């Protein structure tokens, strides 16, 4: 049995996982990804759910796009985002199973309505 090939494959899997976790290290990006697990969204729709400022949201979407986590399509003046990787959908299922996505959305929504969050807090 050739363990060299198995070691290389294992190392590649760990490297890919580390890259994905690095991209998802920002809580705002996890919120975006969890929302995109539900359906494709444009920037305005994501902004209403995720909160923060439009420039900050665009920054996070650009990082997710460059990492290959999300894909985008233009429809007129609007740009729609959707998940580009099934492995990210599996993480969303884990978050939802733990109730993390729902609790985060509820807390973020309540804080935003109360005016407790400033855009810089979403970094």
pTM: 0.69
Give the chain's mean pLDDT: 80
Which pLDDT tens digit goes with each residue over 51-110?
999 999 999 999 999 999 999 999 999 999 999 977 788 777 777 776 655 555 555 555
Instruction: Give the residue carrying structure tokens 């975006």.
Output: 32
| The predicted structure's pLDDT at residue 14 | 87
| The predicted structure's pLDDT at residue 119 | 42
Tell me how far CA of residue 4 lies from CA of 9, 10, 16, 28, 115, in angstroms.
9, 10, 18, 39, 56
Q: Are 13 and 31 in contact (CB under 8 A)?
A: no
Instruction: Give the residue carrying structure tokens 């997710």.
Output: 64
């Amino acid at each position: 049995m050739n363990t060299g090939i198995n070691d290389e494959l294992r190392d590649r899997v760990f490297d890919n996982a580390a890259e994905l976790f690095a991209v998802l290290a920002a809580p705002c990006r996890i919120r975006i990804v969890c929302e995109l697990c539900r359906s494709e969204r444009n920037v305005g729709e994501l902004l209403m759910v995720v909160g923060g400022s439009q420039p900050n949201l665009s920054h996070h979407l650009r990082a997710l796009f460059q990492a290959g986590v999300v894909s985008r399509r233009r429809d007129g003046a609007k740009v729609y985002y959707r998940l580009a990787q099934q492995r990210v959908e599996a993480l969303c299922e884990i978050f939802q199973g733990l109730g993390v996505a729902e609790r985060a959305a509820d807390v973020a929504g309540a804080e935003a309505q109360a005016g407790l969050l400033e855009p810089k807090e979403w970094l």
